């Protein structure tokens, strides 16, 4: 496999679309930084507040719902491993980032 093939494969993985199961895997490892991840993904703080209120008894569900909202309400071209990875890096959520990398 040439270097060009490796780069092409890497780019395909980075632009790979995310499914609900991928979002749940990440949600399991996000902690209090989930709010920051949402902001970096472009979810408005008002919406994050609604999610926090609507699912007040379950932080993991809050996180999953935030990711699900992002994946269904943003530009479909942006719902990729690369976009989520960038938000996780910005929020310094390294455990979730590691899990996302293992998924690849």
Q: Which domains does the chain have, with CATH numbers?
A: 20-101 (1.10.533.10)
pLDDT along the chain (104 residues), means of 10: 38 65 90 94 97 95 96 89 94 85 59
pLDDT at 5: 41
pLDDT at 10: 39
pLDDT at 27: 92
Closest CA to 34 of 77, 65, 71, 72: 65
What pTM did the predictor assign?
Answer: 0.80
Q: What is the DSSP letter of 76?
A: G
Query: Could you give the CA distance from residue 64 to residue 75 in angstroms, rounded to a whole number?
Result: 18
């Amino acid at each position: 496999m040439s270097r060009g093939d490796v780069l092409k494969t890497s780019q395909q993985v980075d632009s790979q679309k995310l499914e609900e199961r991928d979002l749940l895997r990440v949600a399991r490892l996000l902690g209090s930084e989930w709010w920051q991840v949402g902001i970096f993904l472009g979810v408005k703080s008002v919406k994050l507040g609604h999610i926090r209120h609507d699912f007040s008894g379950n932080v993991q569900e809050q996180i999953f719902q935030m990711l699900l909202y992002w994946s269904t309400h943003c530009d479909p071209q942006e719902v990729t491993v690369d976009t989520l990875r960038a938000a996780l890096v910005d929020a310094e959520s390294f455990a979730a980032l590691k899990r996302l990398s293992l998924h690849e």
